Amino acid sequence: MIEARGLTKRYGTTTAVDDLSFTVEPGRITGFLGPNGAGKTTTMRLILGLDRPTAGAVTIHGKPFGQLAYPMREVGALLDAKAVHGGRSAYNHLLCLAQTNNLPRRRVGEVLELVGLQEVARKRSRGFSLGMGQRLGIAGALLGDPAILMFDEPVNGLDPEGILWIRNLMKNLAAQGRTVFVSSHLMSEMENTADHLIVIGRGRLIADCTVAEFIERNSQQAVRVRTPHGDELTKAVTAAGGTVRDDADGRLLITGLATAQVGDLAYDNGVRLHELASAQASLEEAFMELTGAAVEFRAQQLDSPGGTNAGPGSGPDGGQDQPVLTGGGV
């Protein structure tokens, strides 16, 4: 279990993480969401003690990371797959990590096999592809057979095969009862994998709930209807307390009524329906809606001459800092 209480990190005048409190519960995948630059990487660095918080604290099983007896046996983390010495072989890289926690040498072979790198174990990691590097990083995280796993944007830059592999791996790890804490700026990714969400924007907590709750709370359930008798249906729906608007494709989007209610209304009023479907807003849309304000504000800051977007803390994911969501959110 990871517990953050009032976690704050400032770099000079830039506040990367702002009074963040959350709990990552065991035995499920918790998605850590936010636009690029929201403070996800900084938060993870604070959890691992790489950065010192300006205020607040974060503990793992009640202790700061640095005080865990065998850190690798409790937390396996992959923040940046490129953070290895490229001149060292995969085997020696993992061996030097394993030795710090007195892990047996055989464990290195086991994790190499687990991630499918046994063939290149003696090769220097400098020549590894992005996907292989990611597997090496995951092998390192799994060395201590930890109950908690932390991944920072693990699918970034991977090909579809690599993405699928990571996704299945995370599901397997969670199914084994482990805590998986994974950050992403992509909603679609979390929709497929996460059980629970912690959403942040500009370093502040925006939501802490299940994926289902998140969508329910932050988007309106709509019913999509196609009918040749639009006017009559609109009248009936409005009378029943629903709202109707035209969708771009000549369909009607009805909110405020359940799909079954809309179907019943149509039947009662003799309205012919060609299509009746419940349209649920995706996590992506819900996320955009929720972080829209935060992103918008950031975009304005960017325009001002003094405003800098990347604090020193966003260094590790600096390469990923394209304003993917900035464009969509505004």
Partner 1 sequence: MAATTVQAARPAALPEAAGQAGLRGTLASELTKIRSTRSTWWTLLALIVVTVGFGALASFGATRGGPRGPGFDATTHSLGGLYLGQLIIAVLGALVITSEYSTGMIRTSLTAMPRRSTVFAAKALVFGLVALVVGLITSFVSFFLGQAIMSSDHINASLGQPGVLRAVIGGALFLTACGLLAFGIGMMLRHTAGAITTAIGLLFVLTVLVQFLPQSWQDHVDKWIPALAGSQIWQVKPSIGGTPMFSAWGGFAVLAGYAVLALIGGLILFLRRDA
Q: List residues binding partner 1 (CB under 8 A).
A: 26-28, 45, 48-52, 65-66, 68-73, 77, 79-80, 82-89, 92, 95-97, 99-104, 107, 110, 140, 144-145, 147, 175-178, 195, 312-313, 316
* 101 vs 269 by CB, closer to partner 1: 101
Nearest distance from residue 262's CB to partner 1, in Å? 35
DSSP state of 121: T
Minimum distance, C-beta of residue 37 to partner 1, in the bound complex (Å): 17
Tokens standing for 173?
């790890």
**8-state DSSP, 280:** P
* Contact (Cβ atoms closer than 8 angstroms) between residue 28 and residue 180: yes
Closest separation in Å from C-beta 111 to partner 1: 9
Q: Which is nearer to partner 1, 3 or 289 (CB)?
A: 3
- For the CB of residue 276, give the shortest distance to partner 1 in the complex, in Å: 35
Min dist CB 124 to partner 1, Å, is 9
Instruction: Between 34 and 76, name the residue whose CB sits nearer to partner 1.
Output: 76
Residue closer to partner 1, measured from CB, 95 or 281:
95
Report, in Å, the least distance between residue 202 CB and partner 1: 20
Contact 313, 39 (CB under 8 A): yes
Q: What is the dihedral of CA 220, 226, 230, 234, to 10 degrees?
A: -20
Task: Tally Cβ neighbours within 10 Å of residue 245.
Answer: 10
Is residue 129 packed enough to be buried (19+ CB in 10 Å), middle (13-18) or exposed (0-12)? exposed
Enumerate residues 6+ apart whose C-beta is below 8 A from 293: 201
Per 3-state DSSP, the chain is made up of helix, strand and coil in percentages (nearest 5) of 40, 25, 35
The minimum distance between CB 151 and partner 1, in angstroms, equals 12
Distance CA 330, CA 319 (A): 22
Of 82 and 229, nearer to partner 1 (C-beta) is 82
* Closer residue to partner 1, CB minimum distance, 70 or 297: 70
CB neighbours of residue 90 within 10 Å: 27
Residue closer to partner 1 by CB (options 47, 257) is: 47
